[in-house]
Structure 1
Amino acid sequence: MFFNLICRAEMHRHHPLRPHLAERVLERLGFSAPPAVDPEGLALVYRQWCRHIPFDNILKRIQTASSSHRPLPGAEPDDFFETWLQVGTGGTCWAGNGALCSLLQALGFPVALGISMMVPSSLAEPAPDMPKHGTVAVVFDSAPPLIVDPTMLHGQPIPLGLSNRPDPLWGGHNRLVAGQWHLDWKPLSRPRVYCRIERLDATSADFAYWHEYSRDLSRFNQGVIIRLARPDRIDGIVKGNRVSRGLNGVETSRPLSRQELLGSLVEEFGISEALAAQLPPDELDAAV
């Protein structure tokens, strides 16, 4: 069933991490020793990532507003992790998934880069005609691929199979439609969507191309967005609002002043105060 979706994960090696950097990342994530290279070890790494490394567009927002043509933040995994260790930021999908792939690769997991699209949950509306999302899968022998995505922050690996049930907090069930897997998830302050998996044998060059392609087209260029997974909720900032979703699937939202937004970034999400101060104001038509 998965043969046409994925070739052996070892076929495409992502950018390697410096060994000492991988050790520093594990230590910050709460590990005193490398995790076992098995599904349980993978679940531990992904859980700690979801709780400690945010999905956010802070660096990209600052760079986009300055019209800089430098390489996009997090384009190199070493840069992604060094920046997280120093100022607390994560990244958007191409950067975050590329970084997680490199970390898992350094730990010995059979990991693969994925290319996907976000499509409406009704599956009736037109879908995008080009990739908009990178993802990561781990494949143990002949078992179904396990999706570990730093954007969706499901908290636990999601196997591609029909036995999953939707979770009010995380989403995570998936279905096979016209021969393609659609993984359900619920962004904060947005309708449910499906992550339609196109392929799980992407190369580093594929990721670099689509990451750069997102420079001026991303929905994350107009205003701050950040989210982290807690044990019992997902916390975030979207469109100038502080948003949380609990175990019952109910979201709460309240608007933030500029001062409150910057304070929340620092106090609740661990972002450097000096970096947060560099953020330009959200644009009024922010579509994040």
Structure 2
Amino acid sequence: MIPPGLVERVLLKLGFHSRPDADLSGLNKIYAAYSHRVPNDNVQKRLWLVGEKSKQVTGGDPIEFFENWLKHGTGGTCFPSNGALCELLNSLGFNARRILGAVLMEGIEHDGNHGTVLVRIGDTDYLADAQLASFSVLPLVAGQPASTGDGIHDLRAVPFERGFEVQWYPGSNRQTPMVTRLDLQRGAVDHGTFLAQYALSALRDRKRSPFNEALFVGRHFPDRILNIGRNTLTIISRDNEVAKREITAAERAQILIEECGLSPEIVGAIPPDEEPGV
């Protein structure tokens, strides 16, 4: 569990001056704040990959994750970010659990390549996925399709014979949804499983993860989505219009600090991108 003092510091940075109720309204408030204020990025992972690697890959532990976020503004990829969200929710009295899934991306190993969070309220499970950052949790009722809405952060749950496939739109692709298949039959997994999957994703093998060779940072705002990858800035507007342009190293640093909330110290430490396949 996250120490109470750390929980209070996290809540304050998320914009809360008191603990939200452990009900659906409170869950949506926490999840919306987390979606907005905690970036999706591989900054800590990139730093670990070019370092000595004598310890476990940085950020997998929820306490370490939140200390990094409080100090430097960094978030993480799915396993550390969702693992931290799960522990925060449990510390606030919610019934949250870790679940594995598979992002059905071509060229990437599918089995357990994604970690996410389910929260039980009453008789219903709700998907609260930090990386997908939909601002509203997604209800999962057996056999019933569901959606978080019609905006740029929308998620859709499509039932199939073994549970649900979640449809979402990555980056500048706003026409063809990506699919994450939830492994509901396996059920809840523990913190150690998330750590193990995160460690596997840090291997120098692109089949394990596409987030090892170059910086990626994504920020979800209520009215837009901002992504930076390989010195390209992509902004998706409220109207789902995509604007994409190349940026200089100086522009990238400025955007990372002023728009993404990263500390100047951590931005200055980010290693150069590698060539694909190196």
1:60 aligns with 2:45: yes
1:142 aligns with 2:127: no
CA contact (8 A) 1:167 1:173 kept: no
Aligned equivalents of 1:95, 1:85: Cα separation in 2: 15
- 2:111 corresponds, among 117, 120, 130, to 130
CA contact (8 A) 1:239 1:286 kept: no
Instruction: Name the SS for the 1:34 alignment partner.
Output: coil
- Number of matched residues? 267
Which residue matches 2:172?
189
Q: Which range moves more in the overlay, 104-113 or 222-231? A: 222-231
Runs of 4+ in structure 1 deviating by more than 6 angstroms, as ranges, are: none
The one-letter amino acid paired with 2:133 is L
- 2:13 corresponds, among 14, 28, 34, to 28
Aligned equivalents of 2:131, 2:155: Cα separation in 1: 13
Instruction: Name the SS for the 2:121 alignment partner.
Output: coil
Give a deviation string over 1:178-237, Cα, whole Å, max 9, x none: 323001111213552111101341111211211111111321111111111111111121
Which residue matches 2:224?
233
Identity of aligned residues (%): 29
CA contact (8 A) 1:46 1:155 kept: yes
Which residue matches 2:188?
201
Shift of 1:68: 2.1
Instruction: Quickly say closer, same or farther: Cα 1:285–1:127, change in 2 above 3 A.
Output: closer
- TM-score scaled by structure 1? 0.87
The one-letter amino acid paired with 1:34 is R
- 1:213 corresponds, among 185, 200, 212, to 200
The one-letter amino acid paired with 1:140 is I
Which residue matches 2:163?
180
Shift of 1:44: 0.3
Aligned equivalents of 2:163, 2:57: Cα separation in 1: 30
Q: Which range moves more in the overlay, 52-61 or 203-212? A: 203-212
Aligned equivalents of 2:153, 2:257: Cα separation in 1: 25
Shift of 1:37: 0.6
Which residue matches 1:252?
243
Which residue matches 1:6?
none
1:154 aligns with 2:128: no
RMSD value, Cα: 2.0
CA contact (8 A) 1:189 1:238 kept: no
Which residue matches 1:80?
65
Which residue matches 1:106?
91
Instruction: Name the SS for the 2:50 alignment partner.
Output: helix
Instruction: Quickly say closer, same or farther: Cα 1:101–1:163, change in 2 above 3 A.
Output: closer
1:95 aligns with 2:86: no
Instruction: Quickly say closer, same or farther: Cα 1:67–1:255, change in 2 above 3 A.
Output: farther
The one-letter amino acid paired with 1:202 is V
Listed as ranges, the gaps of 5+ residues in structure 1 are 1-15
The one-letter amino acid paired with 1:52 is R
Which residue matches 1:13?
none
Listed as ranges, the gaps of 5+ residues in structure 2 are none
CA contact (8 A) 1:188 1:238 kept: no
CA contact (8 A) 1:87 1:272 kept: yes
The one-letter amino acid paired with 2:260 is F
Instruction: Quickly say closer, same or farther: Cα 1:195–1:90, change in 2 above 3 A.
Output: same
The one-letter amino acid paired with 1:176 is P
Shift of 1:286: 7.6
The one-letter amino acid paired with 1:108 is G
Aligned equivalents of 2:4, 2:236: Cα separation in 1: 37
Instruction: Quickly say closer, same or farther: Cα 1:162–1:127, change in 2 above 3 A.
Output: farther
The one-letter amino acid paired with 1:201 is A
Which residue matches 1:169?
152
Q: Which range moves more in the overlay, 49-58 or 200-209? A: 200-209
The one-letter amino acid paired with 1:154 is S
CA contact (8 A) 1:109 1:138 kept: yes
Give a deviation string over 1:105-158, Cα, whole Å, max 9, x none: 0000011111000115xxxx7984421100011111212x11111111111111
Instruction: Name the SS for the 1:139 alignment partner.
Output: strand
Aligned equivalents of 2:170, 2:273: Cα separation in 1: 19
